[in-house]
Amino acid sequence: MPTSGLVITLAEDSARRAPTLLAIERLPDIAIGQPVDGRYLPATIQADQPTTTKCIQTIESYAGVDHVAITWIGLDEPAPRPHAPSTQLESAS
């Protein structure tokens, strides 16, 4: 399942943040981290692409959200792959 990483910028008005946080938390497929400075909320969504897009749109539509930045998009790999050779060169030295 693809994983997206997000930073959700909550509104400056702190009174609007709490209900928004609650609403975000209730969304399916999302996991949220600790807001930094109360405003910058790291989150991940693990869902197929249309669901992810819909979820982001929903978050953006909340009055208590200023902005959503996608910070990570990864195809889920079935198995871990070895590191690039340069990394191995470094670790060998």
Partner 1 sequence: MTFDRRQFMARTAMAAAAAAATKMARGDVSLDVLDSDELTWDKAPCRFCGTGCHVMVGTRHGRVEAIRGDLKADVNKGLLCAKGYHVGGILYGPDRLKTPMLRRNGHLEPVTWDEAMDVIADRIEGDQAGFAIYGSGQWTIPEGYACQKFIKGGLSNNNIDPNARLCMASAVTGFLATYGVDEPAGCYDDLDVCDVLITWGNNPAEMHPVLFSRVMDRRSRGEKVELFDLGTRRTRTTDFADHYLNFTPQTDLAIANCIARELIARNAWDKDFVGRHCAFRKDTEKPSLFGEASSFKEYATSLDPYTFEYVEEISGVPAEQLRLLADRFCDPSKKITSLWCMGVNQHTRGTAMNTLIHGLHLLSGHFGTPGDSPTSLTGQPSACGTAREVGTLAHALPGGRIVKKEAHRAHCEDFWNLPRGRINPKPGTHTIAMWDNFCTPTDEGGSVSTVWVQVTNPGQTLPNLEKLFRGKAGLEDKFLIVSDCYPTATTEMADLVLPSAMWVEKNGIFGNSERRTQQWFRQVLPPGDARDDTWQVIAAARRLYDRGHEGMRDKDGDFIFTIRDQQGQEVPAWEWAHYYDTNVDRYLFEEYRPFARMKHKDLAPYDVYVASRGLRWPVVQQDDGSWRETRFRFSGFDDPYVADGEDIDFYHSKTGDGKAQIWFRPYVPPPESPDTDYPFWLCTGRVLEHWHSGTMTGRIPQLQESMPTAYVELHAADAGSLGVKSGDRVTVSTRRGELTLPAWVDGRGQPPRGSIFVPFFDERLLVNALTLDAHDPISKQPDYKKCAANVRRA
Binding residues (CB under 8 A) for partner 1: these are 1-7, 9, 31, 33-37, 39-44, 46-53, 56-57, 60, 66-67, 69-82, 84-86, 88-89, 92
Residue closer to partner 1, measured from CB, 15 or 92: 92
- SS3 state at 65: strand
Please name the residues in contact with 55: beta carbons below 8 A apart, sequence gap of 6 or more: 27, 28, 29, 30, 45, 47
CB of 54 to partner 1, least distance (A): 10
Residue closer to partner 1, measured from CB, 19 or 33: 33
Q: Running DSSP on this structure, what letter comes out for residue 39? A: T
CB of 23 to partner 1, least distance (A): 18
Q: State the sign of the Cα–Cα–Cα–Cα dihedral 73, 79, 85, 89.
A: positive
Burial of 32 (0-12, 13-18, 19+ CB in 10 A): middle
CB of 58 to partner 1, least distance (A): 11
Residue closer to partner 1, measured from CB, 22 or 36: 36
